[in-house]
Structure 1
Amino acid sequence: MTRNHIFVCGDPALGFAATLRARRSSRIEALTTPKQLGAWYLESGLVDSVTPSTEADFERARAVREALYRLVTDGRRGRPYDGTALAVVNDPARRPAAQPQLTGPGRRRPRKRP
């Protein structure tokens, strides 16, 4: 597999926040398509396989990334966490975990999203 993403932060959440680099200058975006988001998930080692992301999945993931960055920045500066950023990060965490299932012929059926 060709690796498209760099992981130097030592933590998946920090690595995800770092997919937008040089934030205060040239802003180098590592996630420009839903396909790149799937590649990041695989390359991070968080999952063994992915279902292709929709445009809505992609936009949600980028919103979570920006909220993570805001929370990390607040923490580093000793500020209280931003309530909106907390809600953006915690909402997906409250959802049930994926539960893959096999069908009779042995095909995997993805769990329907709520």
Structure 2
Amino acid sequence: MEDSHRSYTRPDSFVSLLFYGTLEGTAMGLDGIRNEISYMRRKISRQQKEILTLQLAGISTASAEALLSRMQAKVDDLCQQRDRLIGEEKLKGPTYPSGKRIDGTSAHRRM
């Protein structure tokens, strides 16, 4: 009886998604950016606690503080990207002929 094993190779995109979380070159939507900001803020909080623990133990924290500053810079970049996307979404809404945005119900239609 012959052993028939089939080998299956995964596409590279699946492997990068599996190991890196996102595909390179793809843009995250607004929800994805908000989730990433939240996740990074939790990581920053844990890193700050770890730095405090190291300082109390008398251990050098230079590399941990460098990592913390890189993490904070990444959050700042994500916040800027989030704000830009929010602005773009607002511009997609309905406008008057003058270009002013239409917010809610017009005054003459309110009761």
TM-score (norm: length of structure 2): 0.33
Higher strand share: 1
